[in-house]
Amino acid sequence: MAASLAEQIHQNFLNCGICLTPFKNPRALPCLHSFCEECLERWAKANKKGKSKVFACPNCMKSTQIPAEGIQGFPAHFLVNSLQETVNMEKIKEDYSEKLCSKCNKPGTNALIYCCNCQHFLCKSCYDSHSPWGPMKHHKVISIDDLASGKVSLPGSDGNNDQYCTEHDGEENKFYCKTCGKLVCRDCIIMKQCCRDHDYVTLKELSTEKSNQLKELMKTCSQNKKLCQEALEKVKKAKSELSRSVKEVRKDLDMVKKENVWVLKNVYEQQLRGVENVYAQQVKRINHSYEQNKDKLDGVTSNLTAKLQKMNSVYHESQHLVETASHSSIISRYPPVQEMLQEVNQDHTYGEDGELAVIPMPITSMYVVQRWKQCREFKVLNTNRGKHHHGPVGIALTSENKIAIAYYDFIKVFSSSGNQDHCFRHLPYNGDDVAVTSKDGLVYVPMSPLENRYRINVYDRKFQLHKECTISHSIDHAVITIDKNDSVIMGLCDNTTNWISVYDIDNGSETSSFEIQSKPISIALSAPGEIAVVYANNTLQTSDYTGKIIHIFHPPPEAITWVPRCICASKKYEVFVVNQGDPKAIYRYTAGGEYIGCVTTEINDARGIAISHDDQELFVTEYTDHLVKVFKRP
């Protein structure tokens, strides 16, 4: 390496950015900038923010947290130390082809040989007089060509000055006394007899042993490097997937927005506000999640990058020591290198319990509520020739997929294709609801003011009267549903009072009742033991069988006016609500009152709603058009 290049490396890479002098015990910050330990202590003390342990990097001004151990807690910059040592060694080397003989010191007399024992550069003439002399005959010499080509190094140039014995001149330390813990020569063992009974080995044996130990540590370090690199790749992939998924979600939301605009083109101005509101909320939530995850991923990336850099530095330094250093150098430098390898090998968990534990799963998909599509419809005309020609209101389904429909003054039963099966014409009926028990009996509420009898009639599959239960109250209006125990739950009202009654059909008696706030419009079982009621004052809430309020259902964000009119619940306890406000639509909620999404807006004057036993189809009665519309789950 040329001296000018070594000087450039010193100036550009091996000088502290604070004191502008060569590094002294350099420490690496998380931002990968390095400074002298003493300089960092002074800088942190002068520039930390208040009483906090945070200061700005002198180079990039990035905020840096001081470790609990203080500045000493920042990792030592092994790469700088190694580079500094290499450059220092290169500075010591000279252009050997121009080296003069240090014995005769005649101008123009170039040295050809270096005597390691005499530590002199010798020309051919001086070497010829040097080698035959008895004491110098066995001196170790190195040719200038080997030095210039880099095949060998000057003794001590690798930082090891223990090659020769300090007590016996010219004797090379070829042994290591394990008892004394030092390098010794042959004379130390034979002449002084100080180590004769001690445990000693040759330098070659000890160096081989230490090299093998370092290779094992390097093997572990190499494996950890691979794990760290794989973890880093996972982090980068997770960041990429997260970014990609956010873009896909935005694209999906744009498509939903366009679809909603297309479906609701006749009421575009009214619907657009609701769609934009939901769209903005979802995008805001996704963006917020992405930003939180991005910070975590950036932190893990920075941490893993610092660890990988440290591992690379330690690994290369160990590799350089094992492959190029002399036996004595390996022995003398073994303890610090061993400590560095053990340090980087201690922290190498990158899986679910390590660095990657803070990485969130990327957003691979987003559930977007899709509209239910109308699959069919059929006419259910009122063929009553009397003075009333009301359209269909209440609706219920039997286990045989037959459809029971209430028309205020009578009840009809249709097949699933829309063909009329039966009609209850001659009943003292004046209601607007109907329900079906799990035993397939039709349950309805006939009222006969002329007879002054109010009762519940139960009909079997052949529509024959199966049982009759007398109601003790005088009622003007009733809505009805059935629970899993076949108890009849009714919302009732008269001129002065509104209440809920629970009847045991088998015993023919009322088991419980409680007053309610307003006239009940529709009723359903939203969950086991929870009664959902739509009231005439445009509220929807659930209560238990004692009247204790459990949940309140709030209007969806896209509803301009909220006028709930009829409800039903699926076996999974999803609650479907018909809104007669603006827009006219069917909305879906959880049993706990959490809004899920809009089912459809393809309704006009819906008065009744029921869901199939497999929860896949919704049946809706259209009062004005005398229709039953069927919507299929997407």
CA dist 355 and 335 (Å) reads: 29
SS3 (DSSP) at 116: coil
Say if CB 77 and CB 310 are below 8 A apart: no
pLDDT for residue 4 is more than 80: no
Nearest to 538 by CA among 573, 488, 582, 596: 582
Of the listed ranges 55-59, 457-461, 519-523, 552-556, the least confidently predicted one is 457-461
- What spatial distance separates the first Cα and last Cα of the chain, rounded to whole Å? 73
Give me the half-sphere count of Cα atoms (radius 13 Å) on the Cβ side of residue 171: 17
Say if CB 490 and CB 478 are below 8 A apart: yes
Give the mean model confidence (pLDDT) for residues 122-136: 71
390 plus 494 within the same structural domain:
yes
Give the mean model confidence (pLDDT) for residues 126-142: 69
CA dist 39 and 26 (Å) reads: 9
Say if CB 165 and CB 171 are below 8 A apart: yes
What pLDDT was estimated at residue 387? Answer: 46
Give the mean model confidence (pLDDT) for residues 160-168: 66
179 found inside a domain: no
108 found inside a domain: no
Residue type, 193: Q
236 phi/psi in degrees, rounded to 5: -65, -40
Give the CATH number of the domain where residue 66 resides: 3.30.40.10
Give the mean model confidence (pLDDT) for residues 183-193: 74
SS3 (DSSP) at 470: strand
Q: State the pLDDT confidence band at 350, using cuts at 50, 70 and 90.
A: low
Give the residue with greater pLDDT, 4 vs 569.
Answer: 569
493 plus 593 within the same structural domain:
yes
Give the CATH number of the domain where residue 390 resides: 2.120.10.30
pLDDT for residue 284 is more than 50: yes
Per residue in 28-54, pLDDT tens? 888 888 888 889 888 888 887 777 788
Query: What secondary structure does DSSP assign to 235-285, as a single string?
Result: HHHHHHHHHHHHHHHHHHHHHHHHHHHHHTGGGHHHHHHHHHHHHHHHHHH
Say if CB 227 and CB 242 are below 8 A apart: no
506 plus 603 within the same structural domain:
yes
SS3 (DSSP) at 6: helix
Q: Does an H or E element contain 34, and which?
A: strand 34-36
432 plus 554 within the same structural domain:
yes
SS3 (DSSP) at 597: strand
Per residue in 407-435, pLDDT tens? 877 788 888 888 888 887 655 555 566 67
Say if CB 623 and CB 392 are below 8 A apart: yes
What pLDDT was estimated at residue 277? Answer: 62
Say if CB 176 and CB 184 are below 8 A apart: yes
Percentage above 70 pLDDT, the chain? 74
559 found inside a domain: yes
pLDDT for residue 261 is more than 70: no
Nearest to 389 by CA among 366, 408, 376, 405: 408
140 found inside a domain: no
Picking from 55, 73, 92, the residue at the C-terminal end of a domain is 92
Picking from 57, 73, 92, the residue at the C-terminal end of a domain is 92
What pLDDT was estimated at residue 568? Answer: 94
Report how far apart, in Å, the C-alpha atoms of 519 and of each of 133, 214, 586 are. Answer: 127, 86, 21
417 plus 332 within the same structural domain:
no
Percentage above 90 pLDDT, the chain? 17
Of the listed ranges 9-18, 199-208, 371-380, 394-403, the least confidently predicted one is 9-18
What pLDDT was estimated at residue 366? Answer: 38
598 found inside a domain: yes
Place of tokens 């998909």: 365
378 plus 486 within the same structural domain:
yes
* 8-state DSSP, 553: P
Per residue in 295-308, pLDDT tens? 777 777 888 888 88
CA dist 504 and 510 (Å) reads: 6
What pLDDT was estimated at residue 137? Answer: 62
pLDDT for residue 263 is more than 60: no
Report how far apart, in Å, the C-alpha atoms of 130 and of each of 110, 114, 122, 288 are. Answer: 16, 11, 9, 82
Residue type, 501: S
What pLDDT was estimated at residue 628? Answer: 94
379 found inside a domain: yes
pLDDT for residue 446 is more than 70: no
Verify cis geometry, omega within 30 degrees of 0, for the bond prior to 583: yes
What pLDDT was estimated at residue 363? Answer: 45
Bridge partners of residue 618, in order along the sequence: 611, 631
Of the listed ranges 152-166, 228-242, 320-334, the least confidently predicted one is 152-166
Q: Which residues of 303-313 are buried (b: 16+ CB within 10 A; e: fewer)?
A: bbebbbbbbbb
Q: Which two tokens stand for residue 536?
A: 């005439």
Picking from 92, 108, 128, the residue at the C-terminal end of a domain is 92
Q: Which two tokens stand for residue 288?
A: 């917020």
Nearby residues of 505 by Cβ (< 8 Å), 6 or more positions away:
437, 443, 456, 458, 467, 469, 486, 487, 488
Give the mean pLDDT of the chain. Answer: 78
CA dist 506 and 420 (Å) reads: 30
Nearest to 86 by CA among 334, 340, 317: 317
Nearby residues of 133 by Cβ (< 8 Å), 6 or more positions away:
none
Taking the alpha carbons of 317, 321, 325, 328 in that order, is the dihedral positive or negative?
positive
Say if CB 200 and CB 189 are below 8 A apart: yes
Say if CB 155 and CB 147 are below 8 A apart: no
Q: Which two tokens stand for residue 263?
A: 């479906």
Give the mean model confidence (pLDDT) for residues 213-221: 88
For residue 208, with 0-12 CB atoms within 10 Å meaning exposed, 13-18 middle and 19 or more buried, which class applies?
middle
Beta strands in 44-123 (DSSP E): 54-56, 63-65, 113-115, 120-122
257 plus 296 within the same structural domain:
yes
**Which residue segment(s) compose the domain that 233 sits in?**
214-358
* Model confidence, pTM: 0.46
SS3 (DSSP) at 197: coil
Say if CB 104 and CB 125 are below 8 A apart: yes
Give me the half-sphere count of Cα atoms (radius 13 Å) on the Cβ side of residue 490: 26
- Total domains in the fold of the chain: 3
Residue type, 62: K
Give the residue with greater pLDDT, 315 vs 437.
Answer: 315
Strand-by-strand arrangement of the 182-184 sheet: 182-184, 175-177, 200-202
pLDDT for residue 167 is more than 70: yes
What pLDDT was estimated at residue 496? Answer: 87
What pLDDT was estimated at residue 173? Answer: 75
Of the listed ranges 259-263, 293-297, 492-496, 604-608, the least confidently predicted one is 259-263
Q: State the pLDDT confidence band at 368, using cuts at 50, 70 and 90.
A: very low
Q: What is the dihedral of CA 497, 499, 502, 507, to 10 degrees?
A: 0
478 plus 616 within the same structural domain:
yes
What pLDDT was estimated at residue 620? Answer: 95
Nearest to 326 by CA among 118, 213, 163, 144: 163
443 found inside a domain: yes
Q: Which two tokens stand for residue 325?
A: 């250093």
CA dist 212 and 539 (Å) reads: 81
261 plus 409 within the same structural domain:
no
What pLDDT was estimated at residue 192? Answer: 59
Q: State the pLDDT confidence band at 159, using cuts at 50, 70 and 90.
A: very low
431 plus 520 within the same structural domain:
yes
What pLDDT was estimated at residue 549? Answer: 93
159 found inside a domain: no
Place of tokens 């909220």: 562
519 phi/psi in degrees, rounded to 5: -60, 130
Q: State the pLDDT confidence band at 567, using cuts at 50, 70 and 90.
A: very high
Give the residue with greater pLDDT, 382 vs 613.
Answer: 613
Nearby residues of 474 by Cβ (< 8 Å), 6 or more positions away:
454, 494
pLDDT for residue 84 is more than 60: yes
470 plus 565 within the same structural domain:
yes
349 plus 384 within the same structural domain:
no
CA dist 628 and 392 (Å) reads: 8
Give the residue with greater pLDDT, 120 vs 205.
Answer: 205
Give the residue with greater pLDDT, 377 vs 255.
Answer: 377
